[in-house]
Structure 1
């Protein structure tokens, strides 16, 4: 279906569902209950539990969901006056899964139908997959997340005013055998929950910092990779809460702790072959790969708000923090914003290193794939690859990142390319929501300001 302003947004054909709730990925064919959800503008899974019989009916007819999901900020505060009406939604027939916390329950992903559905980042990501398919490509990708586990509950977090928190696995070290051995049962249960949910962890290991973990997800074709990522974050939080712990997916928790990333690996295939690989070309990269990289590097500064949608995300993008500070690329260069990984021809891919752990996977996915396809369609050649430390380079003005969410929202609003890729409705709604976040932040007075400006000797 053609989006309202250019984006290819798909609405599922209810005839495909034939009144059944069977959908693969381990979902029971006759579930007792179905946890039917829709991702809001910030990637939070908003769900209702319905009976299996009702879910079967909704699979055929669709059902209503309140449109407030695109009128509130991350704190669930409505930022505009509206009737907040129900809008039609459809269940994605390919997105049924087992619900991991009940033996005979299923989970299903729904989304808003057009025209309101053009506001949805998930619909936009699906539209970019369709755009690639029209050019003969299948999309293969995977997210990897860093996150911190606290030995805190929501109640203790509030009681401590989110300060001086106790970490789970306080003596944690990078690639720590001791942490895994000590907490093996809990971590094994966590992996089992993800497996039941249809998500495979490619690996899991400790990182530098107390309670700090990294979990790369196994690559998948099409939108499943973004669904996996979004469900991983939502259910990781739920799993650890069930165990009296809190999992944090913020970009930057403290000036004293490393930032937390949400990198996205992506490649294209054509007729089953790796479209980014060319053994006879420089660095083994095909012209398709170079144009894909060219599109992302060119559009990254003006579309940064799509993958970095919080105030906190911009506190991670500083020199030396293993996070990019400008739109650069390089082969096997971890200081670049876009890292080309070419050590295996069949798995030649790009690693989009800008997103933090707080990213909305659907918006980041749509941004990366949309900009890459734009580069292919317009034959955009990338600038010279960076071979050294990108932090030591004086970046050209055109490739520098916005330094704040406010500036990033302005850049996105003014982006003709973003509007041509995703449509005016999506861009304007997304920008509006980012400005709500900026206004909420600007109204606060924090501990740093009090300590600095009270001028107490």
Structure 2
């Protein structure tokens, strides 16, 4: 392969630098800036990156005591090339670990599921949609006030507000321009419930790009708003008085360009394949929930009254369920997985959804009748209930033979170990709630 600096695409664009990055377990894009010439050589000869990305937590505290933090073999994917949105003269490429160490990567696990789909002659189309808060805070002000007394941007915000859209038009036009530059389509952009709360559904795309778009959107949206002196919050639950932040996932399958989930002769227009896909997702999501609810905070959202599902349920156009079927037209018939929050790792979420759905198809799993009433008013069977916290979620994932069959022991054990570290760190903390509740009592 010739040096990338000499390729036609580089000459035409005039870009000379490449931001090469790998997503860690939390979906943070860990990157290095290099010349296009060097990137071209590394694509040809092989790339390497420090394995600390799979040995530290979200606060960059290492937890794998046995690790020596060496460089591991990796691969740069030139087909992921995009424009860098924060200035001329640079592009972005995604890389990931290979070999045995690559088994720990959610992105590699997703690629395996997409390969399974291709082997069956099936194409996958998908998209994420994100809710997020904007705070009128910077890294300096957050630390100065010890993360208390947070000031929201657009305090007078209302859901679907024309006023907020008009007042802050320049800021959000900038977000759209940023995403257009990096090749991420926004299906829409609107205000949501709560002060400084906004929603950005991403455009549906094919295959791995759906998860790549989602992960890059979060990373680049944070950077875009930081340049304006604002802090973007994708965490599941920011405040007990405010709604949780979702990261819903939409997916459909096609074969020879035709929608696999649609059957005009079936009830609700849903094919047997669609029903089995839903059945697999319902059956496996409780024991694999840690793949899409991987923070302690995520379980503060999955409770009654937080506009989020609480058990493995499904319904047609029913937003109280974990799985919502959208069947407006044959071509748009799709499954909306409503469990993920805005901080979920999109590659792990998509891998979970596809793996569980394909397992349901292979095993002809019947999802039962769709729920027409509110899922919050139902009395679900014990096996359909979600884990109550990250501890239980990690335990159930570790014990899942199906998870081990699908994703392999190495991935399961690694993810479980990382989540138990997260829990241990959390259990050492004393929260404001505990101080207010117990200080004057005991």
Matched, 1:436 2:421: yes
Aligned 1:43-442 pairs, distance under 5 A: 43-81=27-65, 82-442=67-427
Q: Relative to 1, partners in 2 of residues 1:52 and 1:338: Cα closer, same or farther, differing over 3 Å?
A: same
Q: Relative to 1, partners in 2 of residues 1:24 and 1:119: Cα closer, same or farther, differing over 3 Å?
A: farther
Q: Relative to 1, partners in 2 of residues 1:393 and 1:28: Cα closer, same or farther, differing over 3 Å?
A: farther
Q: Which moved more, 1:323-332 or 1:159-168?
A: 159-168
Query: Relative contact order: is structure 1 or structure 2 higher (C-alpha 8 Å, sep ≥ 6)?
Result: 1
Aligned equivalent of 1:36: 20
TM-score by length of 1: 0.94
- How many Å separate the matches in 1 of 2:387 and 2:8? 42
Partner secondary structure for residue 279 of structure 2: helix
Structure 2: 5+ residue runs without aligned partners?
A: none
Q: What's the offset of the Cα at 1:256? A: 0.8
Q: Relative to 1, partners in 2 of residues 1:331 and 1:312: Cα closer, same or farther, differing over 3 Å?
A: same
CA contact (8 A) 1:26 1:197 kept: no
Partner secondary structure for residue 302 of structure 1: coil
Q: Any idea what the Cα deviations from partners look like across 1:414-452, whole Å, max 9, x if unmatched?
A: 111111111111111111111111011001111111111
CA contact (8 A) 2:4 2:37 kept: no
- How many Å separate the matches in 1 of 2:168 and 2:140? 24
CA contact (8 A) 1:338 1:350 kept: yes
Q: Which moved more, 1:105-114 or 1:313-322?
A: 313-322
Matched, 1:20 2:4: yes
- How many Å separate the matches in 2 of 1:152 and 1:74? 20
- How many Å separate the matches in 1 of 2:350 and 2:9? 21
Q: Any idea what the Cα deviations from partners look like across 1:121-176, whole Å, max 9, x if unmatched?
A: 01111111111111111000000000000000011011111111111111000111
Partner secondary structure for residue 50 of structure 1: strand
- How many Å separate the matches in 2 of 1:25 and 1:259? 43
- How many Å separate the matches in 2 of 1:348 and 1:286? 10
Q: What's the offset of the Cα at 1:31? A: 2.3
- How many Å separate the matches in 1 of 2:132 and 2:169? 17
- How many Å separate the matches in 2 of 1:59 and 1:416? 37
- How many Å separate the matches in 2 of 1:53 and 1:22? 8
Q: Which moved more, 1:259-268 or 1:80-89?
A: 80-89
- How many Å separate the matches in 2 of 1:294 and 1:26? 47
- How many Å separate the matches in 2 of 1:22 and 1:380? 53
Partner secondary structure for residue 4 of structure 2: coil
Runs of 4+ displaced beyond 6 Å: 21-28
- How many Å separate the matches in 1 of 2:263 and 2:282? 21
Q: What's the offset of the Cα at 1:389? A: 0.3
Q: What's the offset of the Cα at 1:276? A: 0.2
- How many Å separate the matches in 2 of 1:136 and 1:19? 35
- How many Å separate the matches in 2 of 1:77 and 1:24? 43
Q: Relative to 1, partners in 2 of residues 1:196 and 1:188: Cα closer, same or farther, differing over 3 Å?
A: same
Q: What's the offset of the Cα at 1:343? A: 1.0
- How many Å separate the matches in 1 of 2:16 and 2:177? 21
Partner secondary structure for residue 237 of structure 2: coil
Q: Relative to 1, partners in 2 of residues 1:373 and 1:29: Cα closer, same or farther, differing over 3 Å?
A: farther
Question: Paired residues, what number?
Answer: 441
Q: Could you say what the CA RMSD is over the residues aligned between the two structures, in angstroms?
A: 1.7
- How many Å separate the matches in 1 of 2:351 and 2:85? 27
Q: What's the offset of the Cα at 1:19? A: 4.3
